[in-house]
Amino acid sequence: MGALWRGFTRMTSNKLTLFGMLILVFLVLVAAFAPLLAPHDPYAQDLGKRLLPLFSDGHVFGTDSLGRDILSRVIYGSRITLYIVALVALIAPVAGLLVGTASGYFGGVVDVVLMRVTDVFLAFPRLVLALAFVAALGAGIENAVIAISLTAWPPYARIARAETLTIRQADYIAAIRLQGAGAFHIITKHIWPLCVSSLIVRVTLDMAGIILAAAGLGFLGLGAQPPSPEWGAMISEGRKFILDHWWVATIPGLAIFLVSLGFNLLGDGLRDVLDPKSSSDD
């Protein structure tokens, strides 16, 4: 408990890290209390109030082309963003950890095959590969999550493999092996715990890219489908009016920017706490 508190204190002593943490806490609270915070129904249309400017007629962020309140849609869109981030953060690192530790521990043919598969995935830009998977699976938020997860796991596999190659040569691993411990026991009890800190840092730093990938799929109409208030889809709709009604696309764009900034700042703080080598280099 003392070590956790010291790490938390060290992380929050950095003002930028604390700012990033506050942004994400605010995002979680907004998503949790969306029905209480949203001033209007995010799906309610009123063509008589379409494209209202900021702070007009009870609409703080104006309205879109169908007269829907942009603030309410941004608030409810935070739920979709957290949903995507949470699922990808559960799927991609676990898949990468499994592949990376198996590759690094067993070596030989297993290592060659798994790393060549990883190289194939790394050879394609993430968004292009996600587009290919979504095109094969079909549009929808669940398929978008699967597609992003399929493109996000290779870096985690590389990190887990590098950590495993270092750990498996340690003397205490050799001693455990001499005591009769099997590969499964060594990997799950002694290698995975030491890989987790590096993966946590990478996950936090990757969240911004995941949010942008999800927004990109939504922008192209391959993510969350209308009338879901997904931020990328809102930007796609607002681009038609960007010159005369800039707020329709700008407000959800600013939401994506702030959340991505929060994850990046928090990731830098976690890296300093969980990776002693990087903090010592600084």
Range of the domain at 81: 14-33+65-281
Q: Is residue 56 assigned to a domain?
A: no
Q: Is residue 4 assigned to a domain?
A: no
DSSP secondary structure string for all residues of 52-118: --TTBTTBTT-B-TTS-BHHHHHHHHHHHHHHHHHHHHHHHHHHHHHHHHHHHHH-HHHHHHHHHHH
Q: Is residue 109 assigned to a domain?
A: yes
pLDDT at 2 over 50: yes
* Cβ contact 229:76 at 8 Å: yes
pLDDT at 6 over 80: no
Q: Is residue 163 assigned to a domain?
A: yes
The Cα 114–Cα 157 span in angstroms is 9
The Cα 59–Cα 74 span in angstroms is 12
What is the pTM (predicted TM-score) of this model?
0.85
pLDDT at 274 over 80: no
Mean pLDDT, the chain, integer: 87
Across the strands, what pairs with 69? 63
* 201-213 pLDDT per residue, tens: 888 888 888 898 8
Q: Which of 119, 151, 122, 120 is nearest to 216 (CA)?
A: 151
pLDDT at 279 over 50: no
Q: What is the pLDDT of residue 156?
A: 93
pLDDT at 65 over 70: yes
pLDDT at 172 over 70: yes
Highest mean pLDDT of the ranges 76-80, 164-168, 274-278: 76-80
The tally of domains found in the chain comes to: 1
Q: Is residue 7 assigned to a domain?
A: no
Gyration radius of the chain over CA positions: 22
- Confidence tier at 7 by pLDDT (50, 70, 90): low
Q: Is residue 137 assigned to a domain?
A: yes
CATH number at residue 71: 1.10.3720.10
The Cα 6–Cα 11 span in angstroms is 9
Q: What is the pLDDT of residue 115?
A: 93
pLDDT at 49 over 60: yes
pLDDT at 5 over 70: no
Angstrom CA distances, 197 to 1, 13, 72, 79, 106, stand at: 17, 20, 37, 27, 22
pLDDT at 277 over 60: no
pLDDT at 75 over 50: yes
pLDDT at 125 over 80: yes
Q: Is residue 148 assigned to a domain?
A: yes
pLDDT at 282 over 50: no
> Quick count: other Cβ atoms within 10 Å of Cβ 268?
18
Q: Is residue 1 assigned to a domain?
A: no
Which tokens is 120 given? 């194939």
The Cα 65–Cα 99 span in angstroms is 47
